C-alpha cells in the first residue's frame, strides 16, 4: 500500500513553556515538528503522527530546563510497495524519462526503457514529450500517443532508491538518521528517497489511453 504505520521510539525534550499543555499535545507537536515531511532512511517519507503508545517518566538533567521523556509512537509513512500500481501526474519529460509527481512526493521517474515500446523523446513542438508509437496494424501507420506535463497516468513501482549522504560524501554509519534537506555535492543532489516506475504493460500509462478498455 502507499501508506503504512511505522512504530518508532524517541526521546522528546519539552521546554518549560510547554509543561502546561493539555494531555499529549506537546508531545504530538514535538514529534510532528521533528518528522513531518522528512525522509527516514530505509523507512520512507514521514507524513503525520498516528498515535502515541507510551510515554515514559520524564527526566530533567542538570543545566537543561527541558524535560526529557522516551516516547513510543506510530507515524504514518509513505512508502509504496514494490509492484504496487499508483496514479500520478506527469511533472516533466526530459532525456532521463518521464518524471511523475503525486503532489506531496515528486521523486518518481519512469526511465525510457520502462516506457511502452517503442517510445521516443520529442522536443520539437515546444512541449517536451515522450511519444509512444502504438502500432494498431492500420494502413495509416502507428498512433502517436504523447506523454506530456500535466497528463494523469497509472504506473507500477519497480524500484526504490535510497541515498544516504553526509557532508563530504561519507557513508552514514548503521544507525537510523534523517536526511538533510539541502544537498551538498554531486552525489548528494539525488533525493534521499526516490522511486523508479514502469508503464510498459497494458493498462498502464496515461489514463486516457485505456478509458474505454
Partner 1 sequence: MQVVNECNQVLTNAEVYELLDGIRKSKRAVGQRNSALKNLATLTHTAHKFLAEQTPAPTQTSSAITAFLTDIRQFNLSRQEALQLVNLCPRSPVEVHVIVDDCDQRLTDEQVQMLLDLVAKWFPDSSNST
Q: Phi and psi (nearest 5°) for 197?
A: -125, 170
Burial class (CB in 10 A: 0-12, 13-18, 19+), 208: exposed
Cell numbers linked to 200: 510498459
How near is the Cβ of 85 to partner 1 at its closest, in Å? Answer: 6
Of 121-129, 139-147, 184-192, 198-206, the window that binds partner 1 (rule: CB under 8 A) is 198-206
How near is the Cβ of 12 to partner 1 at its closest, in Å? Answer: 11
3-state secondary structure of 25: helix
Count of residues in contact with partner 1, rule CB under 8 A: 52
| Residue 29 contacts partner 1 per CB under 8 A | yes
Q: Phi and psi (nearest 5°) for 47?
A: -105, -70
Residue 41 or 92: the one with the smaller Cβ distance to partner 1 is: 41
Cell numbers linked to 205: 500509462
Cell numbers linked to 176: 537510523
Q: Where on the chain is the footprint of partner 1 (CB under 8 A)?
A: 1-10, 25, 29, 32-33, 36-38, 40, 42-43, 47-48, 50, 72, 74, 76, 78, 81, 83-85, 87-89, 102-104, 152, 154, 156, 176-178, 201-204, 207, 210-213
Amino acid at each position: 500500500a502507499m501508506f503504512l504505520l511505522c512504530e518508532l521510539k524517541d526521546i522528546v525534550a519539552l521546554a518549560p513553556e510547554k509543561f502546561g499543555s493539555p494531555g499529549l499535545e506537546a508531545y504530538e507537536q514535538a514529534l510532528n515538528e521533528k518528522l513531518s515531511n522528512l525522509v527516514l532512511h530505509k523507512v520512507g517519507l514521514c507524513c503525520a503522527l498516528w498515535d502515541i503508545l507510551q510515554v515514559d517518566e520524564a527526566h530533567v538533567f542538570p543545566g537543561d530546563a527541558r524535560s526529557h521523556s522516551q516516547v513510543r509512537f506510530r507515524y504514518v509513512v509513505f512508502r509504496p510497495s514494490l509492484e504496487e500500481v499508483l496514479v500520478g501526474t506527469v511533472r516533466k519529460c526530459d532525456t532521463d524519462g518521464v518524471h511523475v509527481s503525486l503532489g506531496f512526493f515528486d521523486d518518481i521517474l519512469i526511465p525510457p526503457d520502462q516506457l511502452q515500446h517503442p517510445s521516443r523523446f520529442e522536443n520539437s513542438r515546444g512541449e517536451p514529450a515522450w511519444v509512444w508509437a502504438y502500432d494498431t496494424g492500420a494502413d495509416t501507420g502507428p498512433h502517436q500517443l504523447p506523454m506530456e506535463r500535466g497528463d494523469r497516468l497509472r504506473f507500477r513501482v519497480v524500484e526504490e532508491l535510497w541515498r544516504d549522504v553526509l557532508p563530504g560524501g561519507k557513508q552514514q554509519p548503521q544507525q537510523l538518521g534523517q536526511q538533510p534537506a539541502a544537498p551538498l555535492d554531486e552525489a548528494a543532489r539525488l533525493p534521499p528517497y526516490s522511486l523508479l516506475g514502469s508503464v510498459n504493460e497494458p493498462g498502464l500509462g496515461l489514463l486516457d489511453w485505456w478509458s474505454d478498455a
